[in-house]
Structure 1
Amino acid sequence: MSETQAAVDGNVVSDWWSTSVSEIEPGVVRLRGYPVESLIGTVSFPATIWLMLRGELPAVHEAALLEQALVAAVDHGPQAPSIAAARMAATCGVGLNSAVATGVNLLGDVHGGAGQQCMQLLSDLRHTCVSDDVPVAAAVAELLARYRGEGRFVPGFGHRFHPRDPRRDPLIGAVEAEVAAGRLAGGHLEIALELEAQLAAGRRRPVPMNIDGATAVVYAELGFEPELGRGLFVLSRSVGILAHAWEERSSGRRIKGPIPPPLLPTYTGAALRLPDTGTP
């Protein structure tokens, strides 16, 4: 046996994928130290998500608020690119898992990333207000002036489809109730509401929070990191993607494209032309 082979002993191999998330042995499944059989029937799925991501079981009010945010973002119809792509994939002979993966893989910075971006924005503003003792209104005004000067949209506010996102009020109301009960600090909520108020100032139509902004407030108040905000959105939206993929697959239609067969995309290229063959 070479020295290299000798160095790769059992401990080195075992430590290669060391984890504090789960312990799996023959006859044993423990999640963050809890035997899975003790969780089944006693701990909700949202609470299990919290346990797996955070290492401890949440309080009842924390699990309930997390569940509300997960429910709110489940679906937004086949006009959402991620869902449309999953439905098309389901008609192309791929497995249901591949159809769902097709939809999930479209959830990037532009479609699906605004919640994470809003969480980061709220976190940065909160840090500025606390660390530099800057009033919330002043910090928000400075940020909006910079964004307007750069021609940028504020992530998590406004909606291309809804004048007022119907998911905004129940989620923000739930956070406000938790803050009033003293169970959440409310710092991120305060900043989000100030952003909403200043975005609406002087406008005929307000720019209320959308689902991304509302869930960003929930996840930020619950202490999740911004990147996990996108992960939680993906978990939530995967339910809708699965439902749509299954419905489309069950229809029996094959190879369904983005527009109905009688319609063709508008052609904007050169007019009809033929190659010069060089013959007289």
Structure 2
Amino acid sequence: MVTTAQKAPEHSLTITDNRTGKTIVVPIERNSIPATALKKLARKQDAQQGDKLEDEVEGGLRVYDPGFMNTAVVQSRITFIDGEKGILRHRGYPIEQLAEKSSFLETAYLLLYGELPTKSQYTLFSNEVLHHTFVHRDLQEIMGSFRHDAHPMAMLESAFAALGAYAPEANPSLVGQNIYTNARTSEASLQLMDKQIFRLLGKAITVAAMAYRMRMGRQFVKPPAGLSYTESFLYMMDHLNEGSSYRPHPTIVKALDTLFLLHADHEMNASCAAVLQVGSTLVDPYSAIAAGCAALYGPLHGGANEAVVRMLVSIGSVENVPAFIEKVKRKEAVLSGFGHRIYRSTDPRSTIIRKVAEDIFAITGRDPLLDTALALRDAALSDPYFKERRLYPNVDFFSGLIYRALGFPTDYFPILFALPRIAGWLAHWRQMMLSPQGVKIWRPRQVYVGEGERAYVPLKERKERKVERGAEPSVVNHPTSTRVFLARESKL
């Protein structure tokens, strides 16, 4: 790194610290700079300039970036997004081409291994995944122990956490912390890694179907033989009678497979980052995937399509759309299904999903909510308020309507998001484990803004003081019986 006045390279950034006059030259590679370069901008602590011990100025500058608005944490070859132009590519292939010509499982292979598979490679991969759809009998008992009205995502999250207990040979805490990072050079470790990927992809559709069957109060169904990945999932959800020749409708299979493909990966979103954050500790992949499910469970992430349907139901009809639009502009209501953290133009997936919706409605009948959705879309796209803010329909706007038409319970929608996203999570996890630079545990820094050093005051000497809201425990209302019990205990 150049720190003198010599001529800086063209692809670099020259930074002068006006506090000290020190200048550093930071290399720019692929339009990014290493954040650690700013550690060179250190100086002696100076109380006269307002420095506090907790500011750690002698350790150099830190980058403060709430919500990771402009911080890259990995170098990746998997997915590229240009939010300004509405571009989404997996390993260089446009999402439009994949949605038209590929399948979910083939796209999963592409995400994981970098290239579209040959016929023999795809046969091997699909056979391995579908061979690992069965789950241990004890896991069925775990799933069966949930209440019938438990949220399906709570069941899915728990199932993945439990699955790791049935693969002790795949647990770094039991057999050695480097069993996956050794895959860079060890064939046995590489095989162990890929076996867990086959297991996770295969068992995912089984536990997801079990969560649905629990929700509907039905017995679990064994994984079928001879069906495709998406067919197998629908079969385990809907099959009712032993010995019947039931097969899911091919149009529904194709539509759901396309939806799975569209949701397979979206680079460094909250759930993917959660998988990699947890995975950077070298924990087993089952635990990392459970962490991804927990992140996607949040309504700001995986619950968006569910929110769209609830919003449309609350609007009620086309006639109520103008009034709802005005409520949104007055910030009295939330417009779900519009806008995206990355896309500042049309979400390319939303255009594809619109076509899928028509295919489904041709079978199930037109959902009355579709007219409301279309009127809402047209009203928002023609209103200057939303145009100025560049709010366009995203992938969640129509997907919820499709799931609703297919009869999925609303609280099951996040499962249909999480299930295909496992392929993307595993692709990023595998990439991290195989990184030539090794795996570094993710440990973000903070900017401390709290109190400086204080002396402890004994309890009897502390005085009452005005407390800000949220700075003390809340008073919780307990059932009467509990209050009586607590009162009685306090007298003993």
Matches within 5 A, 1:173-188: 173-179=355-361, 181=362, 184-188=365-369
Match in the other structure for 2:277: 88
Change (3 A) 1:148 1:48: farther
Contact 1:91 1:253 in 2 (8 A): yes
Partner of 2:441: 255
Q: Name 1:4's counterpart in structure 2.
A: none
Distance apart, 1:167 and its partner CA: 0.3
Give runs of aligned pairs for residues 32-51 of structure 1, distance below 5 A: 36=223, 39-41=224-226, 43-51=227-235
1:1-280 mapped onto 2 (5 Å cutoff): 20-22=218-220, 31=222, 36=223, 39-41=224-226, 43-55=227-239, 57-78=247-268, 80-107=269-296, 108-125=298-315, 128=316, 136-162=317-343, 163-179=345-361, 181=362, 184-203=365-384, 204-205=387-388, 207-251=391-435, 252-258=438-444, 264-269=445-450
Tell me the equivalent position of 1:27: none
Which digits, 9 at most, give the CA deviation of each residue in 1:137-175, with x for residues without a partner? 213233334444453322211212112111010110222
Write the letter of the residue equivalent to 1:164: T
- Output the TM-score relative to the length of structure 2: 0.42
Task: Pick the structure with greater CA Rg.
Answer: 2
CA contact (8 A) 2:318 2:375 kept: yes
Measured at CA, do residues 51 and 190 of structure 1 come closer, stay the same or move farther in structure 2, by a change above 3 Å?
farther
What is the CA RMSD across the aligned residues, in angstroms? Answer: 2.8
User: Which amino acid is the alignment partner of residue 263 of structure 2?
Assistant: A
CA contact (8 A) 2:360 2:405 kept: no
Figure out how many residues of one structure are paired with residues of the other and give that number. Answer: 230
Counterpart in the other structure of 2:479:
none
Rounded to whole Å, the distance in 1 between the matches of 2:406 and 2:455 is 68
Q: CA contact under 8 A between 1:118 and 1:212: conserved in structure 2?
A: yes
Distance 1:102 1:64, change over 3 A: same
Name the CA distance, whole Å, in 2 between partners of 1:191 and 1:229: 20
CA distance in 1, matches of 2:433, 2:287: 12
Gaps of 5+ in 1: 1-15, 23-29, 129-135, 259-263
Query: Secondary structure in 2 aligned to 1:101?
Result: helix
Q: Structure 2 CA distance, aligned partners of 1:244 and 1:184? A: 39
TM-aligned CA deviation for residue 226 of structure 1:
1.1
Residues 324, 333 of structure 2: 8 Å contact kept: no
Verify the 8 A CA contact 2:349 2:394 in the aligned structure 1: yes
Q: Counterparts of 1:47 and 1:120 in 2: how far apart (Å)?
A: 28
**Is the CA contact (8 Å cut-off) linking 1:137 and 1:194 kept in structure 2?**
yes
> Which segment drifts farther, 248-257 or 222-231?
248-257
Q: Quote the offset at 1:223 in angstroms.
A: 2.5
Give the whole-Å Cα distance in 1 for the aligned partners of 2:380 and 2:273: 32
Instruction: Give the secondary-structure state (helix, strand or coil) at the position aligned to 2:295.
Output: coil
Q: CA deviation at 1:208?
A: 2.5
Distance in 2 of aligned mates of 1:68 and 1:211: 12
* Contact 1:69–1:218 (Cα < 8 Å) also in 2: no
The answer to whether the 8 A contact 1:196-1:207 is kept is no
**TM, length-normalised to structure 1:** 0.71
Q: Which amino acid aligns with 1:168?
A: S
C-alpha displacement of 1:274: 5.2
Q: Give the counterpart letter for 2:308 in structure 1.
A: C
- Residues 260, 420 of structure 2: 8 Å contact kept: yes
